[in-house]
Amino acid sequence: MTPTPRLLYVHDDLTDETRERYGADSEALRGVRALFALIARDGRRIRILSLEEQLAGLARGRHAPFAVAVGIGRAGERVARQVQSRTGWFPAIERIELTREEDGDRYALSTLGRPPLEVQLAGFGQASRIAVVDDTIFSGLTMTATLKALGPAALARAHAFCLRAVAESLASVTALCPATAGFVASGRLLEDVSFINASGLVRRGAIRRVGQSPLAFYERPEWMRAWFLAEAEEVTAHCGALARLLGEAG
Does residue 2 form part of some domain?
Answer: no
Q: Which residue range is the domain that position 233 belongs to? A: 7-46+188-245
pLDDT of 61: 87
pLDDT of 250: 62
Examine the fold and report which residue of 160, 182, 204 is the final residue of a domain before the chain moves on.
182
Does residue 62 form part of some domain?
Answer: yes
In the chain, which stretches have pLDDT less than 50?
Answer: none
Give the CATH number of the domain where residue 109 resides: 3.40.50.2020
Are 105 and 151 in a shared domain? yes
How far is it, in rounded angstroms, from Cα 198 to Cα 195? 10
Q: How many domains, in total, are found in the chain?
A: 2
The 3-state DSSP class for residue 54 equals helix
pTM confidence score = 0.95
Examine the fold and report which residue of 182, 206, 228 is the final residue of a domain before the chain moves on.
182
Does residue 1 form part of some domain?
Answer: no
User: Which residues does 84 contact at the CB level (< 8 Å), separation at least 6?
Assistant: 69, 90, 91, 93
164-206 confidence digits (pLDDT tens): 999 999 999 999 999 999 999 999 999 999 999 999 999 999 9
Task: Show the beta-strand stretches assigned E in the chain.
Answer: 7-11, 46-49, 68-72, 93-96, 99-103, 106-110, 130-137, 158-166, 179-185, 193-197, 207-209, 212-215
Are 65 and 119 in a shared domain? yes
Does residue 148 form part of some domain?
Answer: yes
Are 110 and 137 in a shared domain? yes
pLDDT of 116: 96
201-222 confidence digits (pLDDT tens): 999 999 999 999 999 999 999 9
Q: Give yes or no for a contact between 183 and 164, defined as CB atoms under 8 angstroms apart.
A: yes
Are 63 and 166 in a shared domain? yes
- Candidates 182, 207, 187; CA nearest to 197 is 207
- Candidates 129, 136, 135; CA nearest to 69 is 129
